[in-house]
């Protein structure tokens, strides 16, 4: 139940928050722009403002419920957190997004950071290409 997740995150259970969380959980695509979500809610007859969508997503991000990605489109893309970390493969033709996790790369990143004197807080790896159905 979504309202629980919200309460745990210290957020009041309000209609827009529940609706947005539902949409994120029930959609078959995992990556959404704020505008996508806004339009989807309008279409299903909900009364939300785009500003609220942004506000809610920002709160969700702060509560670690979602992650905000900056792909090369210029628009931010939001993704529901399902705990496990992963990176992305983006098809430049159809926009499809796949996910992967690779332990070797993770290890190597830690090593590099150490060599350069950095304390890693986060990282972001995106592979761009054409997927099997497009090429």
Chain CA centroid to CA 49, Å: 20
Q: How far is Cα 54 from Cα 5, in angstroms, rounded to an integer?
A: 19
Out of 21, 24, 34, 90, the only residue in the binding site for DNA (CB under 7 A) is 34
Q: How far is Cα 82 from Cα 99, in angstroms, rounded to an integer?
A: 12
Q: Which is nearer to DNA, 48 or 131 (CB)?
A: 48
Q: Which stretch, 10-18, 97-105, 109-117, 124-132, contacts DNA (CB under 7 A)?
A: 10-18
Out of 23, 40, 63, 76, the only residue in the binding site for DNA (CB under 7 A) is 76
Query: Is residue 127 involved in binding a copy of itself (CB under 8 A)?
Result: yes
Q: How far is Cα 18 from Cα 117, in angstroms, rounded to an integer?
A: 43
Query: Is residue 132 involved in binding a copy of itself (CB under 8 A)?
Result: yes
Structure tokens at 73: 């489109």
Q: How far is Cα 38 from Cα 78, in angstroms, rounded to an integer?
A: 13
Q: Which residues bind a copy of itself (CB under 8 A)?
A: 70-72, 74, 89, 91-92, 98, 100, 102, 104-105, 108-109, 112-113, 116-132, 135
């Amino acid at each position: 139940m979504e309202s629980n997740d919200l309460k745990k995150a210290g957020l009041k259970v309000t209609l827009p928050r529940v609706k947005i969380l539902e949409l994120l959980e029930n959609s078959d695509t995992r990556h959404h722009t704020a505008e996508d979500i806004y339009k989807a809610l309008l279409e299903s007859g909900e009364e939300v403002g785009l500003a609220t969508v942004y506000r809610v997503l920002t709160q969700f991000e702060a509560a670690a419920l979602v992650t905000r990605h900056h792909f090369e489109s210029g628009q931010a893309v939001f993704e529901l957190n399902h705990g496990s970390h992963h990176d992305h493969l983006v098809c430049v033709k159809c926009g499809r997004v796949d996910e992967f996790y690779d332990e070797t790369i993770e290890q190597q990143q830690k090593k590099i950071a150490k060599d350069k004197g950095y304390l890693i807080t986060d990282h972001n790896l995106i592979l761009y290409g054409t997927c099997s159905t497009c090429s």
